[in-house]
Structure 1
Amino acid sequence: MTDVLDELHWRGLVAQTTDEAALRTALSEGPVAYYVGFDPTAPSLHIGNLVQILTARRLQDAGNTPYLLVGGATGLIGDPRDSGERTLNSPEVVASWVSRIRAQIEPFLVFDGDNAATMVNNLDWTSPMSAIEFLRDVGKYFRMGTMLSKEIVARRLNSEEGISYTEFSYQVLQGMDFRELNHRHGITLQIGGSDQWGNLLSGVELIRKAEGVTAHALTTPLITKADGTKFGKSEGGSVWLDPEMTSPYAFYQFWLNQADADVVNYLKVFTFRGREEIEALEAEVAQRPFAREAQKALAGDVTTLVHGEAATRAVIEASQALFGRGELTGLDERTLAGAVAELPKVTAKAGDLVTDLLAGSGIVASKTEARRAVKEGGAYVNNVKVTAEDAVLSTEDLLHGRFAVLRRGKKTLAVAAAE
């Protein structure tokens, strides 16, 4: 248990702590009961949330006891954002998202044994409370000066949008959660992202003032790219854990495409590989960057963690098949759909000239160029070489009745999709 804090430091997962020496002592005397919260402000978690989930798992593996809070109450309000007021979702929508997010978190933790994980919902203790009880029993411990000095609150107050009392009150609700969990389960540590530091301190201070008990907070840093830009976005927006919102293929490709300058840090944060393995992959990056062994390890590990081994095998096979190193016909419809989702697209039907489709997709400049590609042996449909300039797309070419993969040369791809 005493090594877990050192492990978190090595992985770059410690941004702030309330009192590191005291926390180290508590962990050495453990087990420590701790919690991390997730608000259902969308139907799925995204890869940024993985930082907290995997940090919670590392602490559990070290013998400590995790509680995972999905905020059925705080999700009705939402944490203040830089970009103005959130849209408030209905209680029915938030409740459905609570269920979805709980199901996403559960596979990452262990829910039996001596330090079994527990799922909790802050709606259970917030909903029965009256406004008067909230103001008298909780609000009296919060000072306006402290609340106004919170970084996000100060920014919003100085913006054109300002901040509503609803979002301003979020920090009180989160502080109340920590106090309630301390009462119910003896929880003395909250973890979260560094952008949540002010909210975490609200709970630590509330427990100190109201209960006279010492509690701890630990935040992880905002994950960025080596150039300082934001991590976690693809061309299509956020990278979600829900396979319907980000396909396993797109998920795998996101990790595979990480830069050499970033991949070692991401291996530390997002995988359970040990120090020796990561250092060996770091050496591979330095000596043979073209092999992209570290990126392959990262993509394989994280995709397996989120989507399972079978999905990872399927996307690797799809990646190989797209470029002629496997059978496209063997791919299931969902995997194939994910694999071609980001390719240039042309609408097609059986009987269309392949040269027209090649030109229409944009992978050649013109129909003349398409005919030249066929003549030179560089045009393919589903990895089968096209040998005739008047070849047409057949019904059998439309895999699953929907897609035909067009290729020019070795690497230029498009998809012909049925109307």
Structure 2
Amino acid sequence: MTVYEELVERGLIAQVTDEDELKELINAGKATFYIGFDATADSLHVGHFMALCLMKRLQMAGNKPIALVGGGTTMIGDPSGRTDMRQMMTPEMINHNCECFKKQMSKFIDFSDGKAILANNADWLLDLNYVDVLREVGACFSVNRMLSAECYKQRMDREGGLTFLEFNYMIMQAYDFYKLYQTYGCQMQLGGNDQWSNMLAGTDLIRRKLGKNAYAMTITLLLNSEGKKMGKTQSGAVWLDPNKTSPFEFYQYWRNVADADVIKCLKMLTFLPLEEIKEMEKWEGSELNKAKEILAFELTKLVHSEEEAIKAQEGARALFTTGDAANMPTVELTEADLTDGAITLVDLLVKAELASSKSDARRNIEQGGVAVDGEKIEDTKATVSKDQLSGDGVVVKRGKKKFKKVVVK
């Protein structure tokens, strides 16, 4: 099986341009390709995870990845998939986030000995002269065609509309591809399926300005069986930074995926052989829990190390069999969180991020889905005292699979 055939078999490819030429480049290990990462947070998240894994796969096959951090494009903000304008960020915030990205990317991509390139589009975008851009690049873009792009159309139909600032994002992304082609011989851009219009703009700019062929390939979005993006929890995104999402929480997220999603995730996200995964497709009932354990272990090992994956797996098994909370995520409260030496269970659930709001907490308590140290509590006015929270604290459980240890400093 060729590299490209395996990508197709794993369900990773959504759209491509010039498939035969693109396939030949990838299979021969001759592609220099890039994926862009706008620095909108100080950590990458599960939404970036599949892109990083794809870069790793292609690099293992001899292709050369360019990881492009968006120190420049983040100044504008990508309107794709947005119902409103992104919050403007300061240059200091963006630079800090770019540095955080570099450390995390190194776990997936080998940057040694020129095997990969780490670039920042701030190096060329921030020094551009506006009139020069209009003359050199602007003449290559049709406004009519730009407005037909889905990422713009959905914003044009909304009350707030589309700002001129965001309208320029497509031009900046296309210019990135043009610049990378000139500087590094980068012939291919990869990205999420929602980036298709921006990527085509880049291939078109290279053709118009340089008379050369360039290629685009989009990655299938990671959706669950209900059609919703994976990588979100009640408390927000699942981050790759262990300080934002602990290895235990990361492991538990994948251990708790729906039965209908586990095989798809194994194919798209792990490096296990397809033959091994196809055998798992035959598993049913309790065997699927074993498949989920394998998924959670493999992904935690990829992101956090094998040592952390073993700790997370042992912690999860111990918790579900004996209630051992040694490796469980811990929430620390302070005296300020207590009133008269206690905290209501409703407030405790919210602070522990086991409930999204007080009304959500009350509903779960009333439905019998909350327990403290193994004791089910159905009284929405129940409190937990400082004495209980001192020392080893208490284990708060919501539903069958969500646990937190809560202590007071």
TM-score (norm 2): 0.82
Q: CA deviation at 1:27?
A: 3.0
Length-normalised TM-score, structure 1: 0.81
Maintained 8 Å contact 2:34/2:186: yes
- 284, 292, 305: which one pairs with 2:289? 292
CA distance in 2, matches of 1:230, 1:416: 30
Measure how far apart 1:235 and its partner are.
Answer: 1.3
Alignment of 1:58-207 (within 5 A): 58-80=57-79, 81-113=81-113, 116-207=115-206
Question: In 1, Cα distance between the equivalents of 2:50 and 2:26?
Answer: 20
- Structure 1 residues 54, 364: CA separation in 2 closer, same or farther (over 3 Å shift)? closer
Query: Equivalent residue for 1:319?
Result: 316
What is the DSSP-based 3-state SS (H/G/I as helix, E as strand, rest coil) of the residue aligned with 2:260? helix
C-alpha displacement of 1:264:
0.3
Relative to structure 1, the CA distance from residue 416 to residue 34 in structure 2 (aligned partners, 3 Å threshold; closer, same or farther) is closer
* SS in structure 1 at match of 2:112: coil
For the residue of structure 2 that corresponds to 1:292, the secondary structure is: helix
Deviation of 1:103 after TM superposition, in Å, equals 1.3
Q: 1:89 to 1:278 in 2, by over 3 A?
A: same
Q: Is the 8 A contact 2:32 2:188 kept in 1?
A: yes
Give the unaligned 5+ runs of structure 2: 350-361, 377-385
What is the aligned partner in structure 2 of residue 417 from structure 1?
407
Q: Equivalents in 1 of 2:251, 2:259: separation in Å? A: 16
Deviation at 1:321, TM superposition (A): 3.4
1:242-299: CA deviation from partner (whole Å, max 9, x where unpaired):
1222222211111001111110000011110111111122222x3x435511100110
The 8 Å contact of residues 232 and 238 in structure 2, kept in 1 or not, is answered as yes
| Superposition RMSD in Å | 3.2
Contact between 1:349 and 1:418, CA under 8 Å: does it hold in 2? no
Equivalence for 1:52? 51
8 Å CA contact 1:17, 1:218 repeated in 2: yes
CA, structure 1 residues 411+46, in 2 after alignment: closer, same or farther (shift >3 Å)?
A: closer
Shift of 1:327: 5.3
Per-residue Cα deviation, 1:63-91 (whole angstroms, up to 9, x for no partner): 11111000100011110043111111011
Separation in structure 1 between the aligned mates of residue 177 and residue 282 of structure 2, nearest angstrom: 43
Unmatched tracts of structure 1, length 5 or more: 381-391
For these two proteins, the number of residue pairs brought into alignment is 374
Identity of matched residues, %: 37
Contact 1:249 1:339 in 2 (8 A): no
Alignment of 1:398 onto 2:391: yes
Letter in 1 for 2:407: A
Q: In 2 relative to 1, CA 305–29 (structure 1 residues): closer, same or farther, beyond 3 Å? A: closer
Shift of 1:318: 2.3
CA distances 1:210-240 after superposition (whole Å, capped 9, x unpaired): 0000000000122211222332211112111
Deviations 1:182-205 (A, max 9, x none): 000000000001000011111100
**Which SS does the other structure have where 1:283 is aligned?**
coil
Q: Hey, what does 1:213 align to over in structure 2?
A: 212
Secondary structure in structure 2 of the residue aligned to 1:107: coil
